[in-house]
Structure 1
Amino acid sequence: MKRIVLIGLVSVAVIWIAYSSYQLWINNDSQVNPQYVFCEQDQGVLLINNYNETKNSDYLKVVASNPLANSLENLDSIKIPHLRIYASQQRAIIIFEKENSWKKEEIDLIYSQFKLTGVESRHEGPYLMFSKDYTACNHNLLTQLREADKKASANFWKYNQNQWSRTDMYNLNNGYFEYRSSNPTAIYGEAIQDIPLFASVIPYTADNYSFHERFYAEKTDSIFEIGPMNDWVDKGFVVLEYEGASVIISDYRSQQTPRLILIEQSKQEDSVNISDEIYSFSGFQLTNDFPSQKNKRIYITEIEDKVIITESKSITQKLLVEYQLGKTLALNPEKMNYFFGGLPSFTNHRFVSNNQKRSITWKNHLLFEVSTEPPGEQLVKEDKTSWSASVNHTVFELVPIYDHLRGGISVLSYSEDGKYELVSSNGKSLWRGDADGAIQGEVRVIDVFDNNKHQFLFRTKKRVHLIDLNGKEVGGFPYLSDNELTTSISDFVWNGTKRFLVGTEKGEVIMLNSAGQELTIIKVGNSSVIQTPYALNIKGKLTAWVVNKEHKEYLGFLEKPGKPVELGSVDSESAVKYNGKVVNYFEKEGEVYCQKSDVNGLKGSNPIPIEKGKIFTVTNDYIVIVKSNNFSVFTHDQSLLYTKTVPFNEVGSFVYLKNRKECVVLDNLQNKIHAYSSLGEEVTDFPKEGRELVVAETDKDKKQVYIFSKIAQSIICYKYK
């Protein structure tokens, strides 16, 4: 009997310990588990399953009211596999989830992204929560988080009318995004193929296009719901912008002729006029915004089985002429693709403009939205072969960049006092900024995360900036130095992460990581550093190659303390890192020489003469040497790539396009831009007008060259295949 009692007591004790441990785990986990954190106070919750896809869609705007949301813009540097991010729409709460427990260095890395004071962090198991002024809540918790489609780029829950609804976002990888929303209160009609229904009467010169399926219009437009147009519309109607005017094109049901319905409902005889088969009426409001003014006269005519409604008789007449000349979407496949390419065939609502394409389709109690929500320049549109654009500053330099967000080559313009602006491949201003001081040295285009997405890297007097193509600083940039910076910035990869080196006036070399954090500062002398410092791997040690104002060459140790090694004096007018070595270039007695470091970073063999002449340009890929009006392009292995003798003497710019073996040259005397093929022949339609500076870049996707220059205060762009 005693044995039975003893066994019973032990069993109860074991169960109690297990239960207590479970409760303790549950209580701790519930403090940071999203299912027990988010509630109606948040109003909405965004779950990011794939950060890069979500960032590209600009979907982060749905949590813009969250004080911590700005930190989500710069998470490219956090390379944690399968990282999921939960963000409140209203409260200062962000939760990170990964597949295993959090390490201290991972927590510190993410914490560095939050620049607000008073941010608290807590973690348990796979969850890491950052918050500010957090108080727990237990009313209307969002417990459906696990029901979301993990294949979606992101999921968004919205709390409305005492219930949660969800939208799933999918990046379709072709510039379009699909949104699938569960909305239990929405009921629309059957999706319609609007394209074949209206394309034969829509002029291809129209700008905006907005299709409304009949029942969708009833639910979204209270005037249409009770107005006369609802008496005749069959499948739906289209609202266009044509020559700056709004136009409605509608179908109509059998025996429901629009003009007869309006005549019947007209209250005064003088409200109806007929002229050249065009009927006009006053006193009708057809939709919330048409006509644009109350009681404004409208004009109606019929084409095929459609009715055209405008606010101008002359516009109506022009539309009739366009139709008679065959200038319609149906007869212009290129424009048809511009309007509808990439969108579903069946829809309840479709909207197309120069900045956006969007369609909404109601099916099986779900709303499917396909959209090019910003960045809107992913739209397929006509590519101007030349354009000019004005910017809000005096142009000092231009920097072309392949724009992975919008396609084509965009260009960064900046002024001498540090104001900058990005202009798209078609001349549209995208964003502006101010570096709070003159931009010094070179503005470089880099791929900081090696994912084919590009950023601008540059410095001012004491700051290092890294700006992405949304115009925002990456990670913790800008970095602020205690001392003045004196060199360009080099980048390199060490242990799988991107790092940067820059020199200072105090003989220092600063090493930063891709999040803008200072990793180390080493001192290599008392004189300011004048050449771009480069990182070398010398027998497994991370070492900096440095040249100071006294032309002393040093090797400094970046990870382990050690006295810098002085290599002696060096003749170096320009230097680059090439194949793991530093290549110095200098001129002597009318000839250009190069000298390479050996595998230990020390000076190699004696200087090697390359060619008579002067150094014109040195890039990471080649050196250009000029003698009189002859230009020669060499690799850093001293192999001749290209040579061209130009028929003028005053050359302002010479750009070699290595992918095409062509060059672009500015004649400073005549202010002409010349483009020469790989055979040295002038490209068709050149020369072009240009002033002071010329830059050029190749769009590999379109196999097209972009040339940028300036005239007065405008940027000009020329393109050729």
Structure 2
Amino acid sequence: MRFFCFALFIAVFSCTKHKTTRTKLNQFIPENASVILKTSNIEGLKSAVQNNDFIQKLSKSNSYKTLESKLDALSLLQPKGELLVCFSNDKSDSLQYSIVTKYHKNLVKTDSLPNYIEETITQKNSSITKSKLNNNTFYSTIIDSIFFASSSKKIMDAAFLHINENAELEKIYNTTDQNKSLSVIMISDNAFVKSLFIEDSISLKNFSNYFALDADINQDEILINGITKATDSSDSLIHVFKHTVPQENEIQNITPSNSDGFLSFTFDNFKTFETNVSKFNKTDSIPSTELFDYVTEIGVIYEDKNRAIVLNSIDVIATKDALLSELNVTDTYRQIEIFSFSKPQVFSNTFHPLISFNNATKYCVVDNFFVFADSLEMLQNIIANYQNKTTLSQQSYFKSIKANLSDQSSLLMVVNPSILKTILDKNLQDNSNYTLNKYKASALQFIYDTNFAHVNGIIKKAKTRGYQNSISEVFNIKLNADLLNQPQFVTNHRTNQKEIVVQDVNNQLYLISNKGKILWKKQLQGAVLGKIEQIDIYKNGRLQLVFATPKRIYVIDRNGNDVAPFPKKFSDQITQPLSVFDYDKKKKYRLLVTQNKKVFMYDVSGKIVKGFTFKSASKTINSQPQHFRMSGKDYLTFKTEDRLYILDRTGKTRVKPKTSVNFSNQNVFLYNNKFTTTTNNGHLVSIDTRGNTATQNLNLSDHHHLDTTSKTLVTLTDNKLTIKSRTIELDFGNYTPPKIFYLNDKIYVSVTDLQAQKIHLYDSQAKPIANFPVYGNSQISLDNIDKDRNLEFVTKGDSDAIILYQMN
């Protein structure tokens, strides 16, 4: 179990009558809760946490482990929709949690719980279940159809009496996004998060009052956006930006790439900003100085224990004039003069707590930047990196995070791995042994807007640049159980991009975004047969998944919900994958179900199509029914071990082959305008529309595979892969059937050696694609899944994982 994997418990529930009915989950937030986590997709959140590299590194901290242990009892909750986890601290400074979600009959499972004890506590007008699991005690009940649980009996008792009517908190709560995997509502004065900044002078308690943040948790990054709001403009640091307009941040253009990071704050009018800072510090007006009159951005560059203060001037001459009394040259470096500075305290006096450093006794001027520091070496390092164009702004990892930030901000902090860990350790209150070396740059940004500020944040693992013709791993995510079948791409009709569907051995079906986020998980009755297709059942552009299991036909919408009247149940077993036909491309779908010798045709209302007259084959059908269209005519094909059926759309025989052979279990294809398949002894069989039959000895073994397009034929027998008569002799192994992909006017042929765990990819001339083979454990699905021009493919990795690769 991981930090956000909250799931629940075990209880005997009873309802309690109240004078006031509460229908909103936020009405149950305990009064002393200071951090609230909200999710509407607990399964997606579990997966995101389990697969996120940063959180997994953080899981090595002592604080994480302690919280994980405390929440160990909360492992069986299966909510439908929104769930809240509220954290509170009591007077003894002990961490307490509460869980709030809508009650439904399958909310909790009590099966196979070790070390579990429960008892029912009956109180006046209420019934509470006290539970103990692995030495963790918690309480649960139902109030107004809301399931409420808490580790604190005091909080539980208060839940019956108290309705949270904090109007400001509700406004903040309502700004969170229902579609994000996690939202965090946080009161700044809390016992869990002390600071978000490098300097101890900037405390979270005095920064603002509320935060409401939405998080996108992907494998190698966490993206944060939301707002922060302060109710008292004089006591909150965020309001020093009141009545100012954010300017473009440029400090990164002079920050050395080998520095620890920087803090930048901007304003359009220094006098307004100066007044706001004085008001926050409750000090008298600061003596006027002309040094900052033409400055719109001030930054602090961090280098170990050293600091440099940077002024970004829009009038270099005017700012130089303000320093006319400070022209004592102490050194020259790379033809840039370094001067002494006699008033280093001016920065902390003017900008505290944003700047607490007061040792800047030297300065230099580099283009429009005025740089102040105490360390001569630090100034020289800044000058050298600026001239060498090796500043932070030039680095690919900074450009990568900058794409998720606004160009203009009131306050921006960018830090390297060392400073990021320092900030985290201040909040975790330990110095645990975890490393963040690959998180080259992380950022936190505030953009002031009227009486609140927008918040953007990013923690992202730096990636090695993908060179042309290389294969790069986009993500590798673990599921809750081993995979049952190979992952495949399906279309997201909202974005016209691709997503991934896959099933695990527990018959759970997953829909996964092309960023690696689990969008939903659905329990199925049985294993999916063959490929999952998509249809537009309502003819409105919205696509549904359609497929068969051994006793069901499913039609599932974008959100994982069944589309009525499906799933359709069958008493007899379905023996071939579901065939979906759309004869005239008018979305009048036909669903063909195979049950041993018989085939049944249904419409999308789940009713038998009466016009289809075929009843039964002579023997068991051994291939999935196919539909082909030639010269305006429809052909439905399937076969038994000794007969090929070629029907019209009504089920009547359209073509009768003029010979009979012993067929293999390979599908029927349309190749060179002929119905094509193979025999058991490895011959290629071709039948034209008049029933004329031709055979060709391809020297295939009994165990062989076939795939074709209209003009390309591919076979695999033993270790010999043949593409258009060109044969490749592979290493001996256990190979998946070959698969042809036609993308961007190019043929690709894939095959995977399950024994060696290698994916091979070839072009139509049987030439291997550069940088293959790569690691994989299943047949692949290949397509362009996003908005760039690169192709991606998905495969099974470890037994419980899927891997998405990109071909650069």
Q: What TM-score do you get using the length of structure 2 for normalisation?
A: 0.47
Paired with 2:169 and 2:248, the residues of 1 have a C-alpha distance of 38
Paired with 2:580 and 2:805, the residues of 1 have a C-alpha distance of 42
1:367 pairs, out of 453, 473, 477, with 453
Question: Does residue 496 of structure 2 align to residue 410 of structure 1?
Answer: no
2:369 pairs, out of 306, 321, 334, with 306
Question: Does residue 742 of structure 2 align to residue 658 of structure 1?
Answer: yes
Match of 1:188 in 2: 240
TM-superposed deviation, 1:655: 6.4
Question: Does residue 145 of structure 2 align to residue 131 of structure 1?
Answer: no
User: Which one-letter code corresponds to 1:359 in the other structure?
Assistant: Q
Match of 1:142 in 2: 166
Offset from partner CA, 1:333-382 (integer Å, 9 cap, x none): 9898646435333312124565655420122111111344x6x47x9x88
Match of 2:226 in 1: 179
Paired with 2:21 and 2:803, the residues of 1 have a C-alpha distance of 59
Given that 1:509 and 1:533 are in contact with CA atoms closer than 8 Å, whether structure 2 keeps it comes out as no
Match of 2:21 in 1: 30
Does the residue aligned with 1:703 lie in a helix, a strand or coil? coil
User: Which one-letter code corresponds to 1:212 in the other structure?
Assistant: F
Match of 1:345 in 2: 407
Given that 1:48 and 1:153 are in contact with CA atoms closer than 8 Å, whether structure 2 keeps it comes out as no
TM-superposed deviation, 1:165: 5.8
TM-superposed deviation, 1:93: 4.0
TM-superposed deviation, 1:195: 3.8
Given that 1:443 and 1:458 are in contact with CA atoms closer than 8 Å, whether structure 2 keeps it comes out as no
User: Which one-letter code corresponds to 1:94 in the other structure?
Assistant: V
Does the residue aligned with 1:323 lie in a helix, a strand or coil? helix
Q: Provide closer, same or farther for how the CA distance between residues 320 and 676 of structure 1 changes in structure 2, counting only shifts above 3 A.
A: farther
Match of 1:593 in 2: 664
Does the residue aligned with 1:367 lie in a helix, a strand or coil? strand
Offset from partner CA, 1:628-658 (integer Å, 9 cap, x none): 987457xxxxxxxx77544x55477766443
Paired with 2:407 and 2:251, the residues of 1 have a C-alpha distance of 13
Paired with 2:639 and 2:260, the residues of 1 have a C-alpha distance of 55
Match of 2:91 in 1: none
Alignment of 1:239-278 (within 5 A): 239=300, 249-251=310-312, 254=319, 274=331, 276=333, 277=337
User: Which one-letter code corresponds to 1:180 in the other structure?
Assistant: I
Paired with 1:671 and 1:300, the residues of 2 have a C-alpha distance of 60
Alignment of 1:108-123 (within 5 A): 108=105
Q: Provide closer, same or farther for how the CA distance between residues 693 and 176 of structure 1 changes in structure 2, counting only shifts above 3 A.
A: closer
Offset from partner CA, 1:665-713 (integer Å, 9 cap, x none): 8999x99998655566676xx4668689898644443222458999xxx
Given that 2:226 and 2:456 are in contact with CA atoms closer than 8 Å, whether structure 1 keeps it comes out as yes
Q: Provide closer, same or farther for how the CA distance between residues 443 and 692 of structure 1 changes in structure 2, counting only shifts above 3 A.
A: closer
Does the residue aligned with 1:593 lie in a helix, a strand or coil? coil
Question: Does residue 684 of structure 2 align to residue 613 of structure 1?
Answer: no
TM-superposed deviation, 1:584: 8.5
Paired with 1:583 and 1:311, the residues of 2 have a C-alpha distance of 85
Offset from partner CA, 1:295-341 (integer Å, 9 cap, x none): 999986431242446798666545434433556688x7989864643
Does the residue aligned with 1:184 lie in a helix, a strand or coil? coil
TM-superposed deviation, 1:607: 6.7
Q: Provide closer, same or farther for how the CA distance between residues 618 and 440 of structure 1 changes in structure 2, counting only shifts above 3 A.
A: farther
Q: Provide closer, same or farther for how the CA distance between residues 672 and 258 of structure 1 changes in structure 2, counting only shifts above 3 A.
A: farther
Question: Does residue 237 of structure 2 align to residue 237 of structure 1?
Answer: no
Q: Provide closer, same or farther for how the CA distance between residues 387 and 208 of structure 1 changes in structure 2, counting only shifts above 3 A.
A: farther
User: Which one-letter code corresponds to 1:410 in the other structure?
Assistant: V
Does the residue aligned with 1:658 lie in a helix, a strand or coil? strand
Given that 1:491 and 1:500 are in contact with CA atoms closer than 8 Å, whether structure 2 keeps it comes out as no
Q: Provide closer, same or farther for how the CA distance between residues 335 and 440 of structure 1 changes in structure 2, counting only shifts above 3 A.
A: closer
Given that 1:445 and 1:457 are in contact with CA atoms closer than 8 Å, whether structure 2 keeps it comes out as no
TM-superposed deviation, 1:183: 1.1
Match of 1:625 in 2: 715
Q: What TM-score do you get using the length of structure 1 for normalisation?
A: 0.51
TM-superposed deviation, 1:37: 3.6
Match of 2:426 in 1: none
Given that 1:694 and 1:708 are in contact with CA atoms closer than 8 Å, whether structure 2 keeps it comes out as no
Alignment of 1:489-638 (within 5 A): 501=549, 534=577, 593-594=664-665, 610=684, 613=700, 624-626=714-716, 631=721
Given that 2:249 and 2:297 are in contact with CA atoms closer than 8 Å, whether structure 1 keeps it comes out as no
Given that 2:34 and 2:187 are in contact with CA atoms closer than 8 Å, whether structure 1 keeps it comes out as yes
User: Which one-letter code corresponds to 2:446 in the other structure?
Assistant: I
List runs of 5+ in structure 2 lacking aligned partners.
Answer: 1-15, 50-54, 56-66, 89-96, 119-128, 130-138, 151-155, 191-204, 268-272, 282-288, 416-439, 538-543, 582-588, 601-605, 607-614, 628-635, 643-660, 669-676, 685-697, 797-801
User: Which one-letter code corresponds to 2:451 in the other structure?
Assistant: H
Given that 2:718 and 2:732 are in contact with CA atoms closer than 8 Å, whether structure 1 keeps it comes out as no
1:211 pairs, out of 231, 255, 264, with 264
Question: Does residue 98 of structure 2 align to residue 92 of structure 1?
Answer: yes
Paired with 2:296 and 2:111, the residues of 1 have a C-alpha distance of 51
User: Which one-letter code corresponds to 1:593 in the other structure?
Assistant: S
User: Which one-letter code corresponds to 1:613 in the other structure?
Assistant: L
Does the residue aligned with 2:386 lie in a helix, a strand or coil? helix
Match of 1:454 in 2: 500
TM-superposed deviation, 1:212: 3.3
Does the residue aligned with 2:228 lie in a helix, a strand or coil? strand
TM-superposed deviation, 1:179: 1.6
Does the residue aligned with 1:661 lie in a helix, a strand or coil? strand
Does the residue aligned with 1:385 lie in a helix, a strand or coil? coil
Given that 2:249 and 2:407 are in contact with CA atoms closer than 8 Å, whether structure 1 keeps it comes out as no
Paired with 1:279 and 1:645, the residues of 2 have a C-alpha distance of 75
Match of 1:320 in 2: 383
Given that 1:474 and 1:515 are in contact with CA atoms closer than 8 Å, whether structure 2 keeps it comes out as no
Given that 1:209 and 1:241 are in contact with CA atoms closer than 8 Å, whether structure 2 keeps it comes out as yes
Given that 1:237 and 1:248 are in contact with CA atoms closer than 8 Å, whether structure 2 keeps it comes out as yes
User: Which one-letter code corresponds to 1:92 in the other structure?
Assistant: S
Paired with 2:306 and 2:383, the residues of 1 have a C-alpha distance of 15
User: Which one-letter code corresponds to 1:444 in the other structure?
Assistant: P
Q: Provide closer, same or farther for how the CA distance between residues 37 and 664 of structure 1 changes in structure 2, counting only shifts above 3 A.
A: closer
Higher relative contact order (CA 8 A, sep 6+): 2
Q: Provide closer, same or farther for how the CA distance between residues 339 and 499 of structure 1 changes in structure 2, counting only shifts above 3 A.
A: closer
User: Which one-letter code corresponds to 1:137 in the other structure?
Assistant: L
Does the residue aligned with 2:231 lie in a helix, a strand or coil? coil
Q: Provide closer, same or farther for how the CA distance between residues 664 and 242 of structure 1 changes in structure 2, counting only shifts above 3 A.
A: farther
Given that 1:71 and 1:113 are in contact with CA atoms closer than 8 Å, whether structure 2 keeps it comes out as no
Given that 2:188 and 2:210 are in contact with CA atoms closer than 8 Å, whether structure 1 keeps it comes out as no
Paired with 1:385 and 1:694, the residues of 2 have a C-alpha distance of 26
Paired with 2:160 and 2:229, the residues of 1 have a C-alpha distance of 28
Q: Provide closer, same or farther for how the CA distance between residues 362 and 709 of structure 1 changes in structure 2, counting only shifts above 3 A.
A: closer
TM-superposed deviation, 1:578: 6.2
Paired with 2:403 and 2:765, the residues of 1 have a C-alpha distance of 39
Count of residues paired in the alignment: 557
Paired with 1:533 and 1:94, the residues of 2 have a C-alpha distance of 44
Paired with 1:43 and 1:679, the residues of 2 have a C-alpha distance of 64
Match of 1:153 in 2: 177
Paired with 1:244 and 1:688, the residues of 2 have a C-alpha distance of 48
